[in-house]
Structure 1
């Protein structure tokens, strides 16, 4: 993704050099009648698009106004369409955004639906007066043919272009609802006729190598598709509902690779805690948080950093989401008895140095992971708790003896995902008095050394940031997500009170006294740095906002 501010700056300089005006397309929607002046094929090939029609003049945005072939193409089209071209320079981002307007999700699907209706129309059979083909037979015939294939392909492409992480295909009584999850929020993108639900689901099942005729039980599968010259993996889950099978597809882009600590939002004291723990020769690194909080993504980032030529890294996952070169990755299959626990036993016979277990779900896996950490292995895994300190009582509840935890647990870290403010339209504002009072109270609890490290923050006025929305964030004010963290590392004093069976509250108080940055504090730091809004933070963690 190019830096938008730099892109506009460079484009302005180029426009001045070429002697053509730079078009400002911020949030601009090109009317369909204007788009029809230049075909999508010509626009894509010659890299120019229609912007606005003013009488006999058509404003044309060109990516390369000095391209002689593109100039000739504009003249030819102008002569045939009877308009006078007025040339503007446009940025690559604006060019791609206008191209997308040629092919709206609704219009493309409506075209395919029209074709599908023709395919599904019931015709008379020759020689059999009045007899109709059964609708089921017609559906079976067209299931893998052009119209339904196009509908599914269009949905997948628009989800990818819209930065969706998940696609929900949900049957209702009278319609089929398509929703995209973008930055953690579900949006309804399309409503389709209920009648095509079996064909859409069957097409996805074919792609995923699932049983088409099995609609009574959930199924899981996977497939990949090339979208805009980019290979995208789709993880598929079907689920039987009253109105038919629901399908959820998770989009995984292998080209993006494993994220860095910086892009995750792991910085400052929390990053320091992780890096110091990774330098240790053994111990468990456990990540906690609810489903969808980004634990696995962080786990991959740590795993990639630890993955070196001189170590043997083995993982047990459910499922394997990203492939990391040099790591022996295995997917569990509980239906045949291959679970995290049984797989972990086998891994210990594979001479591992570093072990990743997708999740500690039961006491057997917890005990095996603890044993592996105590016998000289680095063990990475996730666990379901609300905060970092909660990992300790959770392990105890799973049957791990308290005296084993300090020796085996090197780091417990919890996280949440929040939407990141759009960097192109965010601006600093003065917080309301109550918000400033709350911020001041939390900031006063930060270690002085931490405040000293964050010199870019105005600790006196404590400004917060808001984003009204712009063309670069689809008027949402947010773009992408970032995590907030809290990391608990084991110290001699913590070891002592854990062995004594201290309560979760006492452990947390001691950890904070020793300098642990809580998730709330990490979030407030990100608010003051302009990375997230205050509203996003209070939606992710408990904040005392009472009068």
Structure 2
């Protein structure tokens, strides 16, 4: 009775098991006892209490071919007089065997075994196994009764402890994830299940919720910002550098271990980002490292972003890093006279170390600062080589490099992508798997173009591989989102996304496909290159040089039982005809085209001599897209437009369409960019899409069959509810997402 009371008085499972470890075996006059608990995920028993000198944990499958496993599998108590008696075991269960591996390994000889299941409300919690009755040949009925009572008491205690633990976790989780609960993004049942996730110690519950339950980063950031009561910082490579002396005080290895990093110094205040800004112990550590700062603010961030900042500040080119900066590398270059092509080519082919470092540094800085393109621009004579990078659609000068290396740098890049360095008379193109040469795993596309004076320009496109962005993050208006989602859920038909190079067509296509990407749907994609990957898609990269074109890929897909097909681009009549044919034979087909607007796409395809009847039957919708820079939310300023500006807006939107929109001119507020440290004084951070969505209505299909003029098609599309690219841009200006200058820069009408 005393032992039973001791069991029920425990409020911790570990404390309970420690208490009873050495006291239960003597109660039965037994040599050893093992208490197994159930691992339901892996369907095994795991030893939690084991008397004896061996410390190794035992894991046993819940099945009918071992003693404890049989007890758990059947829920029956078994009392074995001789574990080595095969006949006795077969009388209990036809598959029951005794595994003597443990006896052989430890030198212990198992004789009698009493196994009693522990369960509560028909839920198996574990098994008590008692071995070797002293001074007797077997365990008696009294032993069995007492063991059963002990198992019942242990089951009740374990259930109560688990219930209290779950309740405590629920209270803790409810506090931390209040925002997610209020938004119905998670529920307690799923949360409690994930609390036992095997990856919990390494990546934390926040990341597991995003990965397993689909909570997006923005929602989790908002949630943690409210919980910690502080700003939540995402990774933004264009941040200002901290003073090198501040970074040198602490090693990056320590920052990675403790998950914090100095972020910025502003108005005498040092800003620190941490995974848990409420950790007072780390606050004291940071105050000790930076005693001169009386004001230190702590902001939250995901561990992944903290790691990215540590790599940025201390990595290749960072002020705390070991590698040279771009200016230090340039200073190592020899000054001299006008170089000769042959000499510079030979020098690079011999792997001149500084040139190699310089090219790697340019690429690393471009990737880390999220540039889309790198432009290497040499000039005749003694004018320095200009290096520009494109950020958010705009080119900026990155560095001027001494003219002496105007042949060496292009030659080094051509060597990296396996091009002919002696051929400077005609364009060449190739690609670089940069992980062979530098610290980043990124793919680059390279194009060389001969220019005046025997020069060669090199343009490097940084391929942004990754996962698709969410469909609800595309910044589509309500009408456009409804039309597009309705079309992509059709069983067959043709959906086109059009626009110039670099306008985000592939990103939009992948976001749309992610909506219908389910295990029940077979989706094939043919792309050039494969930039975005999704689990579940079967993705193919075309190689036109070996004859594996989009058309060839399409033909192979049609023999591979597809439900949905995505074609990277309709480059020719053959690809367009096969795509339309596939959409008419029960497949949903996605593709892109380089046209300026949705109505122009119709006439462009008809000009390719496609059958207008087949095309009209196939078309579901056409989405035209442009990318405009987003205003920085930190420094944007609201203002009331003056009369002339308001009249210009109404005129550009279209007077009749503006009147139909229901917008109150007196309530219009616009925003302008100011520039701050967050956006690098540009006033813009990131880009957003401007869209026009032409829906394949019956009236529009009739116009296509008649090969109507583009203006009639545009009028019908707008009558069906389409807003033009510029109209969509103006609507987003009114929401404060961008400004009129950006809309006018990328849209004509």
TM-score clears 0.5: yes
Map of 1:392 onto structure 2: 602
Whether 1:504 and 2:714 are equivalent positions in the alignment is no
What is the alpha-carbon distance in structure 2 between the residues aligned to residue 217 and residue 228 of structure 1? 26
5 Å-filtered alignment, 1:222-237, equals 222-225=432-435, 231-237=441-447
- TM-score after normalising by structure 1: 0.78
What is the alpha-carbon distance in structure 1 between the residues aligned to residue 507 and residue 329 of structure 2? 37
Map of 1:21 onto structure 2: none
Map of 1:319 onto structure 2: 529
The range that moved more, 243-252 or 359-368, is 243-252
Residues 7, 345 of structure 1: alpha-carbon distance in 2 compared, 3 angstrom cutoff: closer
Whether 1:204 and 2:204 are equivalent positions in the alignment is no
Residues 438, 207 of structure 1: alpha-carbon distance in 2 compared, 3 angstrom cutoff: same
What is the alpha-carbon distance in structure 2 between the residues aligned to residue 444 and residue 74 of structure 1? 61
Whether 1:117 and 2:334 are equivalent positions in the alignment is yes
Whether 1:246 and 2:457 are equivalent positions in the alignment is yes
5 Å-filtered alignment, 1:141-540, equals 141-143=350-352, 145=353, 147-173=354-380, 174-212=383-421, 215=424, 216-225=426-435, 231-242=441-452, 243-255=454-466, 257-440=467-650, 442=653, 445-446=656-657, 460-540=666-746
What is the alpha-carbon distance in structure 1 between the residues aligned to residue 229 and residue 570 of structure 2? 56
The range that moved more, 415-424 or 398-407, is 398-407
Map of 1:79 onto structure 2: none
**3-state DSSP class of the match of 2:513?**
helix
What is the alpha-carbon distance in structure 1 between the residues aligned to residue 597 and residue 459 of structure 2? 28
Gaps of 5+ in 2: 1-216, 232-237, 256-260, 275-279
Cα deviations across residues 104-130 of structure 1 (Å, max 9, x unaligned)? 9x9812322344439x99xxxxxxxxx
How far does residue 478 in structure 1 lie from its aligned partner after superposition? 0.9
What is the alpha-carbon distance in structure 2 between the residues aligned to residue 276 and residue 448 of structure 1? 28
**3-state DSSP class of the match of 2:583?**
helix
- TM-score after normalising by structure 2: 0.58
How far does residue 43 in structure 1 lie from its aligned partner after superposition? 6.8
- For the aligned residues, what is the CA RMSD? 4.0
What is the alpha-carbon distance in structure 2 between the residues aligned to residue 414 and residue 530 of structure 1? 22
How far does residue 354 in structure 1 lie from its aligned partner after superposition? 1.2
How far does residue 285 in structure 1 lie from its aligned partner after superposition? 0.6
What is the alpha-carbon distance in structure 2 between the residues aligned to residue 195 and residue 92 of structure 1? 47
Cα deviations across residues 172-192 of structure 1 (Å, max 9, x unaligned)? 223221111001000011011
**3-state DSSP class of the match of 1:148?**
helix
Q: 1:102 aligns with which of 291, 309, 319?
A: 319
Cα deviations across residues 183-216 of structure 1 (Å, max 9, x unaligned)? 1000011011233344433443454454555555
Residues 66, 355 of structure 1: alpha-carbon distance in 2 compared, 3 angstrom cutoff: same
**3-state DSSP class of the match of 2:667?**
coil
How far does residue 51 in structure 1 lie from its aligned partner after superposition? 5.3
**Equivalent pair of 1:8/1:91 in contact (CA under 8 Å):** no
Cα deviations across residues 133-167 of structure 1 (Å, max 9, x unaligned)? 97665443333x3x233222322232233221111
Map of 2:47 onto structure 1: none
5 Å-filtered alignment, 1:52-91, equals 67=282, 68-74=284-290, 86=294, 88-89=296-297, 91=299
**Equivalent pair of 2:418/2:430 in contact (CA under 8 Å):** no
The range that moved more, 91-100 or 160-169, is 91-100
What is the alpha-carbon distance in structure 2 between the residues aligned to residue 227 and residue 534 of structure 1? 43
What is the alpha-carbon distance in structure 1 between the residues aligned to residue 641 and residue 649 of structure 2? 9
How far does residue 375 in structure 1 lie from its aligned partner after superposition? 0.9
**Equivalent pair of 2:627/2:688 in contact (CA under 8 Å):** yes
Residues 117, 10 of structure 1: alpha-carbon distance in 2 compared, 3 angstrom cutoff: farther
**3-state DSSP class of the match of 1:178?**
strand
What is the alpha-carbon distance in structure 2 between the residues aligned to residue 219 and residue 92 of structure 1? 44
What is the alpha-carbon distance in structure 1 between the residues aligned to residue 527 and residue 697 of structure 2? 30
**Equivalent pair of 2:270/2:293 in contact (CA under 8 Å):** yes
Residues 135, 357 of structure 1: alpha-carbon distance in 2 compared, 3 angstrom cutoff: closer
What is the alpha-carbon distance in structure 2 between the residues aligned to residue 449 and residue 90 of structure 1? 49
The range that moved more, 227-236 or 164-173, is 227-236
Residues 401, 458 of structure 1: alpha-carbon distance in 2 compared, 3 angstrom cutoff: same
Map of 2:188 onto structure 1: none
Cα deviations across residues 67-95 of structure 1 (Å, max 9, x unaligned)? 355455457xxxxxxxx665633657999
**3-state DSSP class of the match of 2:490?**
coil
Gaps of 5+ in 1: 16-26, 76-83, 122-132, 452-456
How far does residue 66 in structure 1 lie from its aligned partner after superposition? 5.3
